[in-house]
Amino acid sequence: MRSFFEPCVDRIVDLIQGQVGQIERLRTRPKNIFLIGGFAESKYLQEEIEYSLRLRNIQLRIPDTS
């Protein structure tokens, strides 16, 4: 199942990294990223995003309701 979703998850992680990079170029650091929507419930997506943000010390937040 992971191989089916891997290209989509990789693209989402790349897009988030791009947004974080743009914020950091403004000489500010994001502390949190909020993940909402239907696909946000995917544990695989959550794990991959958390892993990519860990090195930058950014917390992934997933609200109970959105």
Encode pLDDT of 39-66 as tens digits. Answer: 999 999 999 999 999 989 999 999 987 6
pLDDT of residue 21: 95
Q: 60, 63, 61, 58: which is closest to 31 by C-alpha?
A: 58
Q: At 37, list the tokens.
A: 């929507």
pLDDT of residue 14: 97
H-helix or E-strand spanning residue 7: helix 2-25
pLDDT of residue 3: 85
pLDDT of residue 2: 79
pLDDT of residue 66: 65
